[in-house]
């Protein structure tokens, strides 16, 4: 099955996962690196990029 670039961007671009509660959040990567983004559920600042399966 072919990968559509528009769909890949919509699903994976700027999406990060909280390391504690695994909730997804869309944010700018520079803000994630600077620690300005907090998780909506647990208020932690530790995020990782969403894994592509």
CATH class of 10-49: mainly beta
According to the model, what pLDDT value does residue 50 have?
Answer: 93
pTM above 0.75, yes or no: yes
Distance of CA 49 to the CA centre of its chain: 5
> In what helix (H) or strand (E) does residue 24 lie, and over which residues does it extend?
strand 24-26
> So what's the pLDDT on residue 1?
63
pLDDT per residue as tens digits for the range 29-50:
999 999 999 999 999 999 999 9
The pLDDT value given to residue 23: 97
């Amino acid at each position: 099955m072919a990968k559509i670039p528009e769909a890949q961007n919509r699903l994976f671009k700027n999406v990060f996962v909280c390391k504690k509660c695994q909730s997804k959040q869309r944010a700018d990567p520079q803000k994630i690196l600077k620690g300005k983004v907090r998780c909506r559920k647990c208020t932690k600042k530790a995020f990782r990029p969403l894994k592509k399966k």
